[in-house]
Structure formats: structure tokens, C-alpha cells
Structure 1
């Protein structure tokens, strides 16, 4: 008897992979179609997200792209949440985790966060798949393990390191989602909701005198690129982690 999707999912979590027997298919004209496999599902899903955004990725949309019905997908993935975990796991598998260095732990944890950010930004909105999810995918857990090792090597207290990873990951995910939303609005026909620095400065200057600090510090409020702010916020979070007494 062929393994169920649930058994395949359990095997992936235990071994980093699982049985994925391809099913040969025939189209209406009798020509052979490419078999449905987990790899085919993942690759097609990434293509949809890259071209149409994460919101467009549904099981029905994915099935259409694979020229099959949704029920065929459920022979390989349990549900949309399982697919999300596979996609995030695949992105996490490409993250380079350094050997923890007590002398460079700040730079190392910042690099891991920046790599995650860049992976998520490749696929608009995909960081949504990370919210409210308890990871069990080994590739995702590898990132948690690597980040924990880096923080502990830097002398961060274990509880602070554990919660610090949660906070850093949440910020990276939210930042990536915001940038994706801004880019989508810029690419749309109505970009009135996204304005540049000059326009923001003009609007702040036009505020009534009940906003004295905003008017006076408009330059500071609008300074820097989004990645500048990313680096600044990571620095605040990392430097705020309590470290064990030496």
C-alpha cells in the first residue's frame, strides 16, 4: 500500500526527505504529462508566488498550473499548511550557517537574518507562510538550531537566546512582508499610497503646529533606505539581549 500524505510528511520530518512516488498521467489527447511529485509541486508553487504573489497560491491555482485536480495534490501534500512548510523549508535549506564564533557572533546572527530576508523577498509575500506556524520541517529547525548556537556562543543567556530567536524571526518575517506589500503597490496601477521621501517631507512640513516634533525632525523620520532601518532594528534587538556574566 502506498504511503499516505501524512506518512510522507512524517518521513520528511524524521529524515529530511520522504517517499515521493511519481504518478504517471495521461492528458485528454493521450499524450503523457509530467508526473506529479513533491518536487514538481514545490517548483510550480514557487513559480506562482514569484510571478503572482503569495496570495495567488491556492491548492486550486496550483492544481490548474500542474494540469490536474486538487485531489491529485493531496496524494503528496497534506494541505496548504503542509505546502507552506515545504516552501519555507526549501528557502531555509539555502541559508549558510557559519560555525559559531564568540568574537563575531553579532555579525553572524545579522548575516543569517539578512539571508532569510533576501530569500523571502525573492517570492513576494511568502513570509506570510511563517506566521502562526509551529515548525517541524528539519530545514526550518536547522535555522533555529544554528541561530541558537550563535547566540549561545556569544554568551547570551539561554532563555534570552530562545526568545531572541523568536523576536528576530518575527521581525524578519514582518519586514519582508511589508517590503513585498510596498513593491506590489508600486507595481500596481494606483501607486498613490506609496510616496517618496520628498513627498513625505512636504506632507510633514504642512502639518499644523500641534505636531512640532514631527515637523522639526522630518529629515530624521524619513532618512535611510528600508535596509538601513532593517540593520538598525536588528542591531537594537541583538545588543539588547542579556548576556551571561563572564
Structure 2
């Protein structure tokens, strides 16, 4: 009866040597679209949208830009993926004819809050028409809300366009507020000659009034008032 050959002395010595060399390095996690998007969002959240480049994302993933291009064609496609990812976090209600205005404002507010978390990212939404189904899902939901409220398709479509432009502009401006000194701006307005700017000087406090997102909701409700329901 043949006995199975045991480990040779040389093989045994190799195993001992491997132990002394320590544990082999762990394999790198593969590059995927989800990892690229998650890393890009983390960069924007901590450093702002201006810091986002394909090279920066590649560096954060400890790889080269060429590895990213195998999954994401270019920066424009990455931007579209980012907006789509944030749009996915917005909950769309079942359209209610009795609450359509409030529902519309709530969807815009959810998108606003997503954009505010990532300073300047709304610029990606302004750079090109959406090609992402998650982004188009938002416009579909908003259209359903307006149609349920009795708004005709044409004004509904234009109102959605105007509202989304406003959400983007509002959040981009919010990302710049750290640069703009509000007290300094008020002081400069008060220095204007009353003879040439009587209304501005008289109503400086009203011009710059508004806490939280009061201005945001006011503007959207004003937009909706012009739609027939």
C-alpha cells in the first residue's frame, strides 16, 4: 500500500519563511462605478465641487485616472451620475389633488437638502441635460403632481424647469455664503445716498430678511400661484 508523500523539508522551510515574512498584503478592492461615485461625493462634501476632478478621485482610490475611464467615460458622465445618485434619495409622493402645491414644494426641498450637503454640486445639474434615469424620475414625479392638481401639461413642464433651475441656483448661492459677509453687505447698502437710492436704503432690512429657507419656499409658492389648478 502506497503512503501519501508528506511535506518535504524544503517545502516545510518555505512555509516557515513565509510566516516570518508576515501576512501577504490584502488584495485591493476592485474599482466599480459605485466606488467612484461614493468617493467623488466624499470629496465634494469635504472640499467642494471645485476640488472634484477625475485625477483627484483616482488618487483617493489609489489608482490611476485610466482605471476610472474604464467605468466612467469622462467628468461630464461622472457629474451626471452624482446628480442621479442624489436624486435617488428624494422620495416622491402619490399625487394628491388636494395637496399638490405642498407636495411640489416638498420634492424641491428634498432635492435642495441633497445639494446643500455637497457644496456647489448643483453646478453639475446645470452643466448638461440629464441622461440619468434617477434624475428623470424626479421630473416625472413632479409632472405627475402638477397634472393631478389640474395644471395643463405645457405650463406644468415649464414650471418644473423653472423650479429645478431655482433649486440649483439657490444651493449654489448657499455654497458661496461663507465668502459673502452679510453684515458687510448691509453696511454698504446703508451707506448709499438716500437721494439716489431712497427705497433701497429705507427697506434694507426687508431686502435681506428671511431665516432658514423662508425665501426658498416663498419663491416656489409664488411660482405655483401662477399655475391654474
Would the TM-score normalized by the shorter structure come out above 0.5?
yes
Q: Following the alignment from structure 1 to structure 2, what is the Cα–Cα distance between the partners of residues 155 and 119?
A: 29
Unaligned 5+ runs, structure 2: 1-23
The equivalent residue for 2:31 is 36
Check if 1:217 corresponds to 2:203: yes
Check if 1:91 corresponds to 2:81: no
Larger radius of gyration: 2
User: Deviation of residue 147 (structure 1)?
Assistant: 0.2
The equivalent residue for 1:234 is 220
Aligned with 1:203 (options 176, 179, 188): 188
Partner of 2:173, secondary structure, is: helix
After TM superposition, the structure 1 stretch with the greater mean CA deviation from structure 2, 219-228 or 103-112, is 219-228
The equivalent residue for 1:194 is 181
Task: Give the TM-score taking structure 1 as reference length.
Answer: 0.79
Q: Following the alignment from structure 1 to structure 2, what is the Cα–Cα distance between the partners of residues 133 and 162?
A: 18
1:108-167 deviations in Å (ceiling 9; x for gaps):
000000000000001010001001322121111110100000000111110000111100
Partner of 1:36, secondary structure, is: coil
Q: Following the alignment from structure 2 to structure 1, what is the Cα–Cα distance between the partners of residues 119 and 185?
A: 25
Partner of 1:224, secondary structure, is: coil
Is the CA contact 1:200–1:222 (under 8 Å) kept in the aligned structure 2?
A: no
1:179-198 deviations in Å (ceiling 9; x for gaps):
01213x2xxxxxxx4223xx
Q: Following the alignment from structure 2 to structure 1, what is the Cα–Cα distance between the partners of residues 136 and 187?
A: 46
Q: Following the alignment from structure 2 to structure 1, what is the Cα–Cα distance between the partners of residues 211 and 112?
A: 15
Aligned 1:42-191 pairs, distance under 5 A = 42-183=37-178, 185=179
Q: Number of aligned pairs?
A: 205
Partner of 1:107, secondary structure, is: helix
Q: Following the alignment from structure 2 to structure 1, what is the Cα–Cα distance between the partners of residues 74 and 163?
A: 28
The equivalent residue for 1:13 is none
Q: Following the alignment from structure 1 to structure 2, what is the Cα–Cα distance between the partners of residues 202 and 73?
A: 49
1:196-245 deviations in Å (ceiling 9; x for gaps):
3xx544433322121111111122112112511111111111111244xx
